[in-house]
Structures are given as structure tokens and as C-alpha cells.
Amino acid sequence: MARAINMAPGCRVFAVGSRAKATAEDFISKNRLPATTLALGSYDELIASECNAIYIPLPTFLHLEWSMKAVNAGKHILVEKPVALSAADLRTLLDACKRNNVLFMDCVMFMHNARTKAICTRLSDPFCGAVSRMMSSFAFRGDASFFSNNIRCSAQGDPLGAVGDLGWYIFRFGLLAMSSSSSAPLSHTYPERLVMPTSISARCQNWSNGVPLDCEGKLVWSADARTATGQFSDQRCLVFDCSFLSVHRQRFEIVTVGGQDDEISDAVLTVDDFCLPRLPDASQFRFETHPRSGSLVNHHTRLVSSIEISSLPNDDGGQEVSMVREFHRQANPVHDNTATCTKQWWGEVSLATQIIVDACMASMRADGAPVEIPQEL
């Protein structure tokens, strides 16, 4: 993040705060930050400094306390996900941001990738059809050191475990996809109205001191007449799994039906690296369409479909720099009116994600029982 901040136009790392000044000095040295970067020996010193905004990568357990202190001191905040332990905590923080007229944004980098915006635009096109079903997997296999030392496996660090770390990304991408398909997007391509799922069922096979190391489940949205097939309704859903215990994958697949085209009725949009792009220079997604009628295969028993590969160039420095640039735009609306969407929207999309995380944890603790998801943000 230090690199991304220094690469973003109009931004620089003003100070580094740690519980010990020597640790801050070591961070500055290892990251080759300018000699003018302040090394501060406490978080309170950082908040009291002349910085305009604070990046908060602390363990989730500490987010509310230090985010509130920063906000009440008039600082804009960029907070690592999961941003809070509960939606109630996040609402408290967002209320404080509103009172102090400061920006809150969560650190979900793919939100600032041109590919994500292009996917939202594609899904909002009536000719694309309505999102019916989504499938996603996000996982990696942690080593012994990860499970012993990483805060994502600690009840005193991030008790939300794999759900808060990996599930957060899955739920966010699913929200964007379903909302883009269901409502007109903002002028800058994000959906203005977030369409919340109605329920979730989830199970965890491996717990560590109350922290979920994996999760598999299903999010369900209310029925949509556009996705019905004849007399059969098609339940709109996201089937997902996330894990610290499995081979790495970060795949998202979106199925749409009923496109307003005489020749096309169904399509599948696939992203094999939806969170962290594999290629250094471009981010890709695949859009495969199928004919409205006729055989699924031709006389050579080959699948009848049309495949389009979209490749969008990455910004200089990648999506991390794009995120910092957007954060700067939002925090300085007087100087820059090109921000992607409203300041309030960033809090709403984070709150929507947190609400789903809360319901997922509740379902896992109830051994997979369905949990209703509140619709109001």
C-alpha cells in the first residue's frame, strides 16, 4: 500500500504509526520511503498528526476503536476488510463519518479495476439478459506459519476468518453482479441501488478456536420473472466456497438468461481471477452466448456458442494505485469532480457486504440453517 499511495497522483505517505517508533522506522526503511516520512511511536500520534487520511490495516478486532478515533479527528479513512466485527459496529462508524463529513472506503481493490466496471456495464445491458445463477470459489492453502501467526486465523485478530477475508470479496462481486442486472447503474457504471439477497445457508467444516477456516454455502435472491423458464421459476442464487485449506483459485461465473435478442437467450460470463489479476498489463473476462433455439451441438457434435474475450488494460501501478486515486478523488471533491460515485455509496456497499458476512457466520454457527438477510441498509 505504501507504494500505491506514493504512486497515486496528489498522494504521499506522510507518516507511519506503530506501537513502537522503531517498528515504524523499520517499515519506512524497508519500503524505501522518503527520509521526510515521519516515524511515530503510537497510533494516537498518527491521528494527531497533520495527515489528511489514514489507511487502517489493523486486526479487525481493533478497527472500530481506531477508526472512530481517526474519524472524530476529521481524518478520511481507508479500512482493510473485513471492516468491522458486525454490521452494528459498522453503522456506528458510518454515522460518525457522516457527522464529521469524512470519507469511509473499504480496501477492496478490484472495485477500482476497469474490468469490474466493464462487467457491471455489460450486465446492466438488457440484451445481456438477467442474472440467474452465480458460482464462485476463492481459496488458498495456508502453511503452518500462516495458521500459527496470521491474524486471519486468530480469534483476537480476525474472528471472521475465511469468511471475512475471502468471502468478503465473493459477496461483494455477487452484489455488484446482481444489482447491475436489476437496476440502472450509476453514470460511472456502478449500480446505484444495491439488491440484497434474502437468505443464506452456509457450513464450516474446519473451525480453529471459533474462527472459520473454510466455508461453503448459498446466497438466495428473490424471484425475478425474467429468469423463469416456461412454468418453472429459476431461483436466483450464488453458490460459493472460500477456504484457507484448499488449492488456490479465484473464479467467478455468472449465468444470464432471457437476453432481448432474437438469436441469443442465455450467456455465461466467466472471470478466472476476479480478485487479483494474473496478467501484469491487462484484466480479462469471457462472455459466452448460446442460441435461443435449436440444438446445443452441431452435426460435428461441437458446441454451438459464441465466445468473446474482453481484455482491459490495467492502470499504471495496478488496481491498488487506482483505489488510492479514487479515494483521493472522493476525499477532495472540490479539487476533483471525476469520482466514481457518491461518498455515501461507498459506506452503503460496505455495509451491505458486512450484513451478508454476519448472516453467513450466523448460519454456520447454526450448522447450516438458513438465515434471513435484512433488506434495509
Question: 63-93: string of b/e by CB count within 10 Å (b at 16+)?
Answer: bbebbbbbbebebbbbbbbbbbbbbebbbeb
Residues 359-373 have pLDDT tens digits of 999 999 999 999 999
Q: How far is it, in rounded angstroms, from Cα 125 to Cα 120?
A: 9
pLDDT of residue 340: 54
With beta carbons less than 8 A apart as the criterion, state whether 236 and 194 touch: no
Please choose, from the candidates 309, 296, 297, the residue with its C-alpha nearest in 3D space to the C-alpha of residue 265. 296
CA distances from 209 to 215, 235, 245, 312 (A): 15, 35, 16, 42
Across the chain, the runs of DSSP E, i.e. the strands, are 15-17, 38-40, 53-56, 76-79, 104-106, 130-141, 199-203, 207-208, 211-212, 214-220, 237-243, 245-257, 264-271, 282-291, 306-313, 371-372
Structure confidence at residue 291 as a pLDDT band (50, 70, 90): low
pLDDT of residue 301: 45
Percent of the chain as helix, strand, coil, to the nearest 5: 35, 25, 35
Counting residues of the chain whose pLDDT is more than 90, the rounded percentage is 74
pTM metric for this prediction: 0.93
Please choose, from the candidates 364, 358, 366, 363, the residue with its C-alpha nearest in 3D space to the C-alpha of residue 205. 364
pLDDT of residue 315: 79
pLDDT of residue 265: 67
Question: 303-323: string of b/e by CB count within 10 Å (b at 16+)?
Answer: eeeeeeeeebebbeebbbbbb
Residues 239-265 have pLDDT tens digits of 999 999 999 999 999 999 876 555 556
Residues 96-107 have pLDDT tens digits of 999 999 999 999
pLDDT of residue 299: 47
Q: How far is it, in rounded angstroms, from Cα 256 to Cα 272?
A: 17
With beta carbons less than 8 A apart as the criterion, state whether 124 and 184 touch: yes
Query: Which of 111-120, 244-253, 306-315, 336-345 comes out lowest in average pLDDT?
Result: 336-345
Sign of the alpha-carbon torsion through 207, 210, 212, 216: positive
pLDDT of residue 152: 96
Q: What is the mean pLDDT of the chain?
A: 89
Residues 19-52 have pLDDT tens digits of 999 999 999 999 999 999 999 999 999 999 999 9
* All three cell numbers of 279: 496478467
H helix and E strand count, the chain: 11, 16
